[in-house]
């Protein structure tokens, strides 16, 4: 039996297999509102047979968008647009659907990747960014405003309000974005956080905001629905956030009832030095899995079925998340199931596509 295609529980949510479609920014929203692109993009992925689909990083404030085209959930208009999307997805797929809530902090106000991805200053039509300290991400970027305690309180309320909206929309799961150099990661890392109050300095203080937001979101999201966190386990910069600190954070989150941790790395500093290769981030997931009981999701150039099977089968992680790989091959779970002798869900309209050499591949109800 394939370990990759065994079911798993995230809190009270049952997933059919261990394959997660990771959040992937599409830079295709209209003032935070989902568009026809999201219907097409997420619709095809909802047919893939993966165990879980998590929507892209969704800003809890307008100023928290990475780009002007980022998805958002901060007002009635953005909620209404997502409601239409959820209705469409639910009508055609039974796949559990989560949403990643985040705030870009000092990495907000940037062009889309195909426009260069560089910072947009206020003079160029961008907006003033915020961060734990007034330190720009890259040389030449407009410096962010250091957040006051009042502004931190407003941020926490924004996460709570977006979580309530996500619950009303029927999302099965929330993932808080504490990775890739965005605002919650900025508070964690001593490279970006040079505060001298209760949110800076010691590891306990730097973790405080993420832990507080987790607790407040957990309180307002339905009890039976999982809330997890995505982190960057290392800044890949000397003196920055690292695996040892990530383990401490993971243990603290688990004590608060965190349902899963999704382990990535990098994104905090242009000085990062990353040796990229297959499974390059999996050791971070493995290190955290050895320290906690909650499910751990691994990512990082996982492209082959046998590779994913080995990660799960050897206990390096409980799940694997695919991003660019599933954009390239939106039927990746089908093909993996065929290779591993497993079964996978598919829409009835596609059952006739089952190849003759893998008859019985689809779970026909």
pLDDT > 90: what percent of the chain? Answer: 97
- Determine if residue 147 is left, alpha or beta; phi over 0 gives left, psi from -120 to 50 gives alpha, anything else beta: beta
Q: What is the largest CA-CA distance in the chain?
A: 65
- Give residue 365's pLDDT: 64
Indicate if the pLDDT at residue 138 is higher than 90: yes
pLDDT digits (tens, 9 = 90+) for 166-218: 999 999 999 999 999 999 999 999 999 999 999 999 999 999 999 999 999 99
Q: Please give the average per-residue pLDDT across 273-300, as a whole number.
A: 96
Q: Which pLDDT band holds residue 299 (cuts at 50, 70, 90)?
A: very high
The CA distance from 324 to 333, in Å, is: 14
Please state the pTM of the whole predicted model: 0.97
- Give residue 29's pLDDT: 98
Under 8 Å CB-to-CB from 44, ≥6 apart: which residues? 330
Q: Which pLDDT band holds residue 275 (cuts at 50, 70, 90)?
A: confident
Domains of the chain: residue spans and CATH: 8-358 (3.20.20.70)
182 is catalytic: yes
pLDDT digits (tens, 9 = 90+) for 36-80: 999 999 999 999 999 999 999 999 999 999 999 999 999 999 999
Q: Which residues are registered as beta bridge partners of 362?
A: 344
Indicate if the pLDDT at residue 1 is higher than 70: yes
Active-site choice (27, 111, 182, 199): 182
Under 8 Å CB-to-CB from 268, ≥6 apart: which residues? 180, 181, 185, 186, 189, 191, 192, 232, 235, 237, 240, 241
- Residue 69 DSSP symbol: T
Q: Please give the average per-residue pLDDT across 297-305, as a whole number.
A: 96
pLDDT digits (tens, 9 = 90+) for 151-173: 999 999 999 999 999 999 999 99
β 173-178/296-298 pair status:
unpaired
pLDDT digits (tens, 9 = 90+) for 70-109: 999 999 999 999 999 999 999 999 999 999 999 999 999 9
Mean pLDDT of the chain: 97
Q: Is 127 exposed, middle or buried (0-12, 13-18, 19+ CB in 10 A)?
A: middle
């Amino acid at each position: 039996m394939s370990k990759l295609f065994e079911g798993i529980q995230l809190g009270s949510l049952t997933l059919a297999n261990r394959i997660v479609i990771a959040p992937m920014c599409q830079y295709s929203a209209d003032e935070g509102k989902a568009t026809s692109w999201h219907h097409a993009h997420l619709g095809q992925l909802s047919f893939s047979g993966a165990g879980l689909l998590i929507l892209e990083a969704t800003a809890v404030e307008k100023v928290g968008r990475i780009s002007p085209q980022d998805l958002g959930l901060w007002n009635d208009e953005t909620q209404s647009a997502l409601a239409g999307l959820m209705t469409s997805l639910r009508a055609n797929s039974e796949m559990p659907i989560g949403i990643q809530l985040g705030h870009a902090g000092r990495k907000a106000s940037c062009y889309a990747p195909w426009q260069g991805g560089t910072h947009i200053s206020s003079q160029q039509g961008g907006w003033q960014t915020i961060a734990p300290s007034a330190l720009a991400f890259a040389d030449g970027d407009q410096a962010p405003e250091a957040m006051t305690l009042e502004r931190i309180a407003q941020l926490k309320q924004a996460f709570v309000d977006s979580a309530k909206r996500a619950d009303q929309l029927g999302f099965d799961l929330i993932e808080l974005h504490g990775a890739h150099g965005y605002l919650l990661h900025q508070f964690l890392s001593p490279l970006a956080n040079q505060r001298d109050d209760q949110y800076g300095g010691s590891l306990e203080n730097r973790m405080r905001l993420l832990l507080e937001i987790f607790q407040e979101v957990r309180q307002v999201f339905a009890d039976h629905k999982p809330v997890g966190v995505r982190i960057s386990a290392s800044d890949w910069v000397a003196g920055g956030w690292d695996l040892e600190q990530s383990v401490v954070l993971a243990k603290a989150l688990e004590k608060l009832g965190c349902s899963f941790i999704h382990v990535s790395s990098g994104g905090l500093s242009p000085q990062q030095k990353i040796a990229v290769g297959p499974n390059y981030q999996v050791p971070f997931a493995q290190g955290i899995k050895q320290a906690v009981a909650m499910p751990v999701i691994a990512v990082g150039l996982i492209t082959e079925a046998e590779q994913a099977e080995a990660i799960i089968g050897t206990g390096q992680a409980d799940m694997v998340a695919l991003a660019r790989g599933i954009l390239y091959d939106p039927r990746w779970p089908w093909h993996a199931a065929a290779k591993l002798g497993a079964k996978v869900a598919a829409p009835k309209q596609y059952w006739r596509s089952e190849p003759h050499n893998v008859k019985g591949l689809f779970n026909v109800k």
